[in-house]
A and B are shown apart, each in its own frame.
Chain A
Amino acid sequence: MALRMSPRSKSIVSFFLLPLALAGLFSCKGEVHHIEYAYAYGTNWEIHLYEGTKADAEAISDYIRTSSQVLDLDARHCQNGIYALNHQEEIEASPFLIEAIQLGQRIESQSHGAYSISIGALTKAWLENLEQGKILEPTSVASYLEQAQATTVTVQGSKAKKEGSGEIDLGSVGKGLCLDHVKAQLTEKGIRKYLINGGSSSLLIGENSSSDGSTKVHLADAKGRYFNAKNIAVSNSAISRQRYEVDGHVYSHIVDARTGIPELAYDALCLAGNGAGLLDGLSTAYLALGKDYANELENQGIQVAFMKGGEVVYESAGFLS
Chain B
Amino acid sequence: MKAPVSFLKQIQRHWVEILVVSLALIATILAVIFVSIPARQKAAYANVSIKGEIVRRIELNQDATYQVDVPHGTMQISVKNGKIAVFSSPCPGQYCVHQGEKEHIGDSLICAHEGVAIYLVGEGETTEITI
B131–A201 CB distance below 8 A: yes
User: Is B7 located at the chain interface by the 8 A CB criterion?
Assistant: no
Report whether A6 and B17 are in contact in the complex, using a CB–CB cutoff of 8 Å: yes
CB-CB nearest in chain B for A223: B130
Is B129's CB under 8 angstroms from A39's CB?
no
The answer, yes or no, to whether A232 is at the interface (CB within 8 Å) is no
- Contact string, B108-128, partner A, CB cutoff 8 A, digits 1/0? 101011011101010111111
Q: Choose among B17, B28, B49, B93 the residue that contacts A44 (Cβ–Cβ < 8 A).
A: B49
Find out whether the CB atom of B31 lies under 8 angstroms from the CB atom of A215.
Answer: no
Bound form: Cα–Cα A4–B31 in Å? 26
Q: Are A217 and B129 in contact, with the CB atoms below 8 A?
A: yes
B24-60 to A contact mask, C-beta < 8 Å, 1/0 = 1101100110111110000000010101111000000
Q: Which residue of A lies closest to B111 (CB)?
A: A241
CB of A119 to closest CB in B, whole Å = 20
Within 8 Å of chain B (Cβ to Cβ): is A208?
yes
Chain B residue, CB-CB nearest to A202: B131
| Given contact pairs A16-B28, A27-B34, A218 touches B128 in the complex (Cβ within 8 A) | yes
Binding-face segment, A146-154, A179-187, A192-200, A255-263: A192-200
Docked complex Cα distance between A26 and B31 (Å):
11
Stretch in contact with the other chain, from A45-53, A288-296, A311-319 = A45-53
Q: Which residues of B are found within 8 Å of A5, using beta-carbon distances? A: 16-17, 20
Q: Is the interface of A mostly helix, strand, loop or mixed?
A: mixed
B92 at interface (Cβ–Cβ under 8 A)? yes
Contacts of B127 in A (CB 8 A): 208, 210, 215-216
Taking a contact as CB atoms closer than 8 A, the residue among B20, B92, B95, B128 that contacts A215 in the complex is B128
Chain B proximity of A311: nearest CB distance (Å): 16
Q: How far is the CA of A6 from the CA of B10 in the complex (A)?
A: 14
Q: Are A44 and B126 in contact (CB under 8 A)?
A: no
- Give the chain A neighbours of B35 by CB distance below 8 A: 23, 26-27
Residues of chain A lying within 8 A (CB to CB) of residue B20: 3, 5, 9, 13
A55 adjacent to chain B (CB < 8 Å): no
Chain A contacts of B16 at CB under 8 A?
Answer: 3-5
Contacts of A170 in B (CB 8 A): none
> Residues 71-101 of chain B: 1 if any A CB is under 8 Å from the residue's CB, otherwise 0?
0000000000000000000001101000100
Docked complex Cα distance between A218 and B108 (Å):
12
Kindly identify which residue among A19, A40, A220 contacts B32, using a CB–CB cutoff of 8 Å: A19
B64 within 8 A of A: no
A200 to B112, CA, bound (A): 11
* Interface membership of A35, Cβ < 8 A: yes
Q: CB within 8 Å of B: which of A232-248?
A: 234, 236, 240-244
With contacts A23-B32, A35-B121 known, is A195 near B21, CB below 8 A?
Answer: no
Task: Report the minimal beta-carbon distance from B20 to chain A, rounded to whole angstroms.
Answer: 6
Question: What are 30 A-B pairs with beta-carbon distances under 8 A?
Answer: A5-B17, A13-B20, A16-B21, A19-B28, A19-B31, A20-B27, A23-B32, A24-B31, A31-B123, A33-B123, A33-B125, A39-B115, A44-B52, A46-B108, A48-B125, A50-B125, A197-B108, A203-B131, A208-B125, A210-B38, A210-B125, A215-B127, A217-B131, A218-B129, A218-B130, A220-B131, A240-B95, A241-B93, A243-B95, A244-B92
6 extra interface residue pairs, beta carbon distance < 8 Å, beyond A210-B127, A220-B99, A220-B131: A12-B21, A23-B34, A37-B49, A44-B115, A48-B125, A270-B131
Q: A: which residues have CB within 8 A of B?
A: 3-6, 9, 12-13, 16-17, 19-20, 23-24, 26-27, 31, 33, 35, 37-40, 42-46, 48, 50, 65, 131, 193, 195, 197, 199-201, 203, 208-211, 215-220, 234, 236, 240-244, 270
Q: Which residues on B are within 8 Å of A, measured CB to CB?
A: 14, 16-17, 20-21, 24-25, 27-28, 31-32, 34-38, 47, 49, 51-54, 92-93, 95, 99, 108, 110, 112-113, 115-117, 119, 121, 123-131
The 6 closest A-B pairs by CB, nearest first: A39-B52, A44-B117, A23-B31, A16-B24, A9-B17, A39-B51
